[in-house]
Amino acid sequence: MFYAAQIILALEYLHSKGIIYRDLKPENIVICQDGYVKLTDFGLCKKGDFTNISGASSICGTPAYMAPEILLYKQYGKAVDWWAFGCFLYEMVAGHPPFFASNKQDLEFSILHSQPNMSHFSIKLQDLIYRLLEKNPKNRLTTNIRDHQWFNIDFDAILNKKEIAPFLPTLQNEADVTYFDPQFIKSSMSEQCSIIDELDSYKDFTYKGSQDQSVQQSFQTLSPEIIGLNENGEAKQMIKVESTEMINQ
């Protein structure tokens, strides 16, 4: 409940700025040293004039968390984020996503036609998740989610970090990667970098430092670094390159 409340606050804020997130999943949520969470990876965000059911049409996201309307190539809006929140909430309790299969076709069929098993959930939590995982976005729970009877928490206290976090990570220093999956910290840099072949790949990017073309052409490898919002609430991605310069998207 502590973590779910924070995700609600984050999504509400993004939506208030005209932004849909489109990639909510556990991998994009990190726990900070104070025990509170942050939403990361704003690469699939879209800013625009969205309703709950319209404003976007591109196919994107992580398959297990994609709403039915995306899979059906329909117009969609803010409701897709609340579908993904329902998936996240289910996974936090069950330990696995509500919809999963051995191949993409079966996964999509499951999302479109099946209901997840929640017999071991409390009645209140079942009601909340069923309403979030409503396949028709027009009928999906998208407003006043924090008022649902399952929540027994002070959202203002969460917003102001007055609640005591249930878990505090023990870190030796800022570079401590104890809680990172070994799969990621043991991989080589070459596996995490992309090779850029053409200068045109940097179109619409703003460079920090020299604008000399020879310097720009020396940039060859990229790796994700920091993702956030700028002062206007727009998605901003910062990518670290070999030269240690930063590029803002």
217: left (phi over 0), alpha (psi -120 to 50) or beta: alpha
Q: Which residues contact 19 (CB under 8 A, 6 or more apart)?
A: 45, 46, 47, 229, 233, 234, 235
Choice among 23, 81, 106, 181 that is catalytic? 23
Q: Which two tokens stand for residue 106?
A: 């079966």
Q: Which two tokens stand for residue 221?
A: 């490898």
Residues 247, 208 contacting (CB under 8 angstroms) = yes
Distance in angstroms (rounded) separating the CA atoms of residues 249 and 29: 21
Residues 127, 38 contacting (CB under 8 angstroms) = no
CB atoms under 10 Å from CB of 244, counted, come to 7
Task: Give the distance, in angstroms, between the CA of residue 22 and the centroid of all CA atoms in the same chain.
Answer: 7
CB atoms under 10 Å from CB of 158, counted, come to 20
- 34 annotated active-site: no
Distance in angstroms (rounded) separating the CA atoms of residues 62 and 118: 22
Residues designated catalytic: 23
